[in-house]
Amino acid sequence: MNGIENSINHSINRNIIRIELDNIINENIKIMSKTKEIDRITSEIAKELEPKMFEMISWGLTQTDLDDVEGDDFIELTIYIANRAIEKLTKNINK
């Protein structure tokens, strides 16, 4: 090959690399956009579920031996029950 052919091949290779990098960048942008949308959806779901979960926990504790728990103990118990419920939900979903 002569100098002109080497120069042309070098230029072609640089253009191919640029195109491949552009494709990778565009693919990453699409993934980031989808991830951002998924995060938005999951945040909205969590925002809706949280108060309902705590209402259900309060209802579930009524008329039980745990009904008289108050103050910080009630908060700790509620958080514990919420976390256990989330664990069970996660386990059921992943079956």
How do the domains of the chain map onto residue ranges?
3-93
The full 3-state SS of 22-69, as one line of letters, equals HHHHHHHHHHHHHHHHHHHHHHHHHHHHHHHHHHHHHHHHCCCCCCCC
- Whether the full predicted model's pTM is greater than 0.85, yes or no, is no
pLDDT tens digit sequence for 60-75: 998 899 988 999 999 9
Closest CA to 78 of 63, 47, 56, 49: 56
Cα–Cα distance, 19 to 87 (Å, whole number): 45
> Could you tell me if residue 62 is left (phi over 0), alpha (psi between -120 and 50 degrees) or otherwise beta?
beta
pLDDT tens digit sequence for 52-62: 999 999 999 98
